Amino acid sequence: MPSLSQQIETLRNSLQTMDPGDLQSLAQIHAGVDAFVESSQDIDGISAQTTESIRQLTGIARKSLEGLILNEVTDADRAVQSLQQSILGLQRLIDGGLVSDASLPSDSFEAAREIAQAVANPIASPAIVEKTTEPASAPPVVEAPAPRVFEPIATRIFAEDELPLIQEFITEAGTHLDTAEQEMLALEEDPTNSDSLNALFRAFHTIKGVAGFLDLKQVQSLAHVAENLLDRGRSGQLLLTGYSAELVLKSIDTMKLLMNAVATASTQNKPLAEVAGVDPLVVKLEDFLEGRATTTPNSNDESSSELDTPNVVSASKPAVASTSPFPAPPAPPVSTATPNETVASPDATKAGGDNTVKVATDRLDRLIDMVGELVIANSMVVQDLGEQAATSVRGTKNLSHMGKIVRELQDLSMSLRMVQVGTVFKKMSRLVRDTARKLCKDVELVIEGQETELDRNVVEALSDPLVHMVRNSVDHGIETPDQREAAGKPRTGKLTLRAYHKGGAINIEIIDDGRGLNREKILKKAIANGLVEEGAELSDADIDKLIFAAGLSTAEKITDVSGRGVGMDVVRQNIEKLRGRIDISSEPGKGSKFTIRLPLTLAVIDGLVVKVGQEKYIIPINSIEQSIRPTTDMLSSVQGRGELVSVRGSILPLVRLHRLFGVEPRTENPTESLVVIVQDSGGSTSSDRRACFLVDELLGQEQVVIKNLGPGMGQIRGISGGAVLGDGNVSLILDVAGVLDSVTH
């Protein structure tokens, strides 16, 4: 590594040819200053006073450089002059023998102090002061600056050539903000986690840099001051808990609002206007950094809830502004790589370190739709040419080969839509935290099975129902710490989100160890609302389902969390639109479990094609146990329960599909027909519901593309959609759970 003298000489040469508007040259000088700081830290024998002088001088250089890079200075010439003076001060320290590559005399503070004070306020005083007569023990007192006045930001419309960059920035910023939120929540659990702190810092640092390049003033301003706060944490000057943590989370929320505004302006060709609340938040962050943050913030400010005084690590590293005339410099970046690892920069990752490519979702959806049409067309070709190909070995081989390619292509296209459910689970972490704090509760969130994959469209549609259910679990389910302690429970409640595959579907469970459902209260409320007749006898499962009725709420009062009786009915509707269902299991005093059962994908399904009369229906393969031809001794009839079939010791109800759908069957004698034994797994009961569907004929198994029946048809109980078969006709896909509900109600 070059000596300190060589590094300073390189910096001075760079300054002579520097263009204040050239971001690349400014970045190189900034890197040179950082390298000088690292080199000076490796030298033994430097006194604390001299180290402080170096810190102050490099702090001025960094501040001037950042002001030029971010275009935050009103006078670029004066900022350049400040930069030159700070580098000159470092040069004089070295030339005077105050800093050598070997050691430093311990009594050198006076000379170093004189040079340091010569550039103490370089922007205000352009001239270089050769020597000061002020005593070193009387540093000037830093006065509180006047309130910052923000100039109105002129609205702008993005140019056509800017839009691709803007769209890419929006996508990347969204990813960075999601990462920042998760890392901040992790820091609240372990404030000393340097990996989370560095990841959080990098997120804001990246957003700041790109925002400056795109001239997004508000985004850049907020990211810059938030980055300064995070840098205090990286340098060990404070712990990001309490007030500082709330400021970071509020910065993330506000940054999301800013990105939404940028997205709206870019996609709708509208002017980009200012977002309210950004400037006040910037002031709060600056006040905190300068030690002017109040210990009792305004309780009406949502961003200040639960804010407390800064958490100082030690008295030697205060989190408030010192009386030194020099600004505190940022700490050098902390590498989290082990000696055998290589940390790739974002640019390097994009260049070749990451074998991924970004594709617009509309293009992906269109590709999958076209693959679905290809599957249908292949089925038609096979059916039309199947008989002809049967007489030709080559024709049979070619059709088989084409079918194999189409199936593999379909499987591959479906895998493109599969994403991990953890993407929506992680968003619940912030919701649980904020809701619990508003309600003065202690809640621990446990996430299991977040690597489970399902259709991207299902994940997106699942977000809103999960928000309602998680919020209700924290509000209605989990008790306050005092109530839990009185009930003999730990003061901290436990909320579990779990995902797993079962029977070709995905089950998502929301489990809490709270008070459970108050069935007596739910029933009284349902009777009062006219949902249930007075004196009606309902099972526990039927009472539990009443919470999904519109307008039903057992909350004592309406709050900003819940209490208006809306939400759970919307949850049920949204889940049913996804061809899913919700089951409830609750035990008073011990907690509740809500199980959401969803299909893995909304696009394709493996089904058994059956014929009833002249109609063809498709039964999902994952719901089928077996098919048999019943004998007379297997059939029976019970008063009030209808027809039953005895299958291997189990008595199962017989469902005549032709009666359910109004179709003329080939025969009504079950012994001349077939029964398909189906099950509806994933329910809340101890055993899965099973039944026998009476059909005329089995036509074979097919993988079909699911088509919506259209808004005109609405939701039809027992039908989950339609599919185009090889003969070009549309067949209905049966919803086993819906059919069983139809015959039991």
Tell me the pLDDT tens digit for each residue of 333-370: 333 333 333 333 334 343 344 467 777 778 888 888 88
Is residue 12 helix, strand or coil? helix
Q: Residues near 166 by Cβ (< 8 Å), separated by ≥ 6?
A: 158, 214, 262, 266
Whether pLDDT at 459 is above 70: yes
Burial (CB < 10 A; 0-12, 13-18, 19+), residue 323, is: exposed
Encode 172-194: b = buried (16+ Cβ within 10 Å), e = exposed: bbeebbbbbbbbbbbbbeebebe
Is residue 453 helix, strand or coil? strand
Residue predicted with more confidence, 321 or 611: 611
Whether pLDDT at 71 is above 50: yes
Whether pLDDT at 567 is above 70: no
Q: Which amino acid is at 265?
A: A
Compute the distance between CA of residue 515 and CA of residue 480 in angstroms, rounded to an integer: 10
Compute the distance between CA of residue 70 and CA of residue 214 in angstroms, rounded to an integer: 11
Compute the distance between CA of residue 544 and CA of residue 522 in angstroms, rounded to an integer: 8
Which pLDDT value is given to residue 40? 76
3-state DSSP of 25-52: HHHHHHHHHHHHHHHHHCCCCCCHHHHH
Contact criterion met (CB below 8 Å) for 52 and 40: no
Compute the distance between CA of residue 15 and CA of residue 4 in angstroms, rounded to an integer: 17
Give percent of the chain above pLDDT 90: 13
Contact criterion met (CB below 8 Å) for 419 and 456: yes
Is residue 334 helix, strand or coil? coil
Compute the distance between CA of residue 509 and CA of residue 504 in angstroms, rounded to an integer: 16
Compute the distance between CA of residue 415 and CA of residue 743 in angstroms, rounded to an integer: 36
pLDDT digit string, tens, across residues 363-395: 888 888 888 888 888 888 887 776 666 677 787
| 486-498: average pLDDT | 93
Whether pLDDT at 492 is above 90: yes
Which pLDDT value is given to residue 327? 34
Which pLDDT value is given to residue 79? 77
Which pLDDT value is given to residue 578? 80
Contact criterion met (CB below 8 Å) for 4 and 41: no
Whether pLDDT at 325 is above 50: no
Whether pLDDT at 329 is above 80: no
Which pLDDT value is given to residue 556? 55
Instruction: Output the average pLDDT for the chain.
Output: 75
Whether pLDDT at 671 is above 70: yes
Contact criterion met (CB below 8 Å) for 410 and 163: no
| 560-586: average pLDDT | 73
Residue in the structure block whose two tokens are 């709420």? 553
Which pLDDT value is given to residue 531? 81
Whether pLDDT at 6 is above 50: yes
Which pLDDT value is given to residue 456? 83
- Best-predicted range by mean pLDDT (64-68, 456-460, 672-676, 720-724): 672-676
Is residue 89 helix, strand or coil? helix
- DSSP letter at 412 equals H
Q: Which helix (H) or strand (E) holds 689?
A: strand 689-695
Confidence class for position 306, pLDDT limits 50, 70, 90 = very low
Q: Which amino acid is at 335?
A: S
| 112-133: average pLDDT | 39
Nearest to 531 by CA among 540, 539, 542, 518: 542
Which pLDDT value is given to residue 484? 93
Burial (CB < 10 A; 0-12, 13-18, 19+), residue 620, is: buried
Whether pLDDT at 28 is above 60: yes
Whether pLDDT at 110 is above 50: no
Tokens of 304: 């200040």
Whether pLDDT at 119 is above 50: no
**Which of 150-154, 353-357, 543-547, 668-672 has the least mean pLDDT?**
150-154
| 283-310: average pLDDT | 56
Confidence class for position 695, pLDDT limits 50, 70, 90 = very high
Residue predicted with more confidence, 166 or 329: 166
Whether pLDDT at 498 is above 90: yes
Which pLDDT value is given to residue 390? 63
Contact criterion met (CB below 8 Å) for 111 and 96: yes
Confidence class for position 594, pLDDT limits 50, 70, 90 = very high
Nearest to 470 by CA among 379, 590, 554, 561: 561
| Residue-by-residue DSSP string for 134-174 | S-TT-PPPPPPPPPP-PPPPPPB---GGGHHHHHHHHHHHH
Number of helices (H) and strands (E), helices first, in the chain? 22, 20
**Which of 70-79, 104-113, 384-393 has the least mean pLDDT?**
104-113
Contact criterion met (CB below 8 Å) for 258 and 222: yes
Compute the distance between CA of residue 356 and CA of residue 352 in angstroms, rounded to an integer: 9
Whether pLDDT at 699 is above 60: yes
Which pLDDT value is given to residue 296? 38
Beta partners for 178?
none
Strand order in the sheet with 443-448: 443-448, 493-502, 505-512, 591-599, 581-587
**Which of 313-327, 361-375, 443-457 has the least mean pLDDT?**
313-327
pTM for this one? 0.58
CA–chain centroid gap for 44, Å, is 47
Confidence class for position 480, pLDDT limits 50, 70, 90 = very high
- Cα angle 573, 576, 582 (rounded to 5 degrees) comes to 90
Compute the distance between CA of residue 618 and CA of residue 27 in angstroms, rounded to an integer: 64
| 592-606: average pLDDT | 82
Confidence class for position 38, pLDDT limits 50, 70, 90 = confident
Q: Residues near 388 by Cβ (< 8 Å), separated by ≥ 6?
A: 395
Whether pLDDT at 621 is above 60: yes
List C-alpha distances in Å: 81 to 16, 61, 116: 11, 10, 15
Whether pLDDT at 80 is above 90: no
Compute the distance between CA of residue 744 and CA of residue 685 in angstroms, rounded to an integer: 15
Confidence class for position 133, pLDDT limits 50, 70, 90 = very low
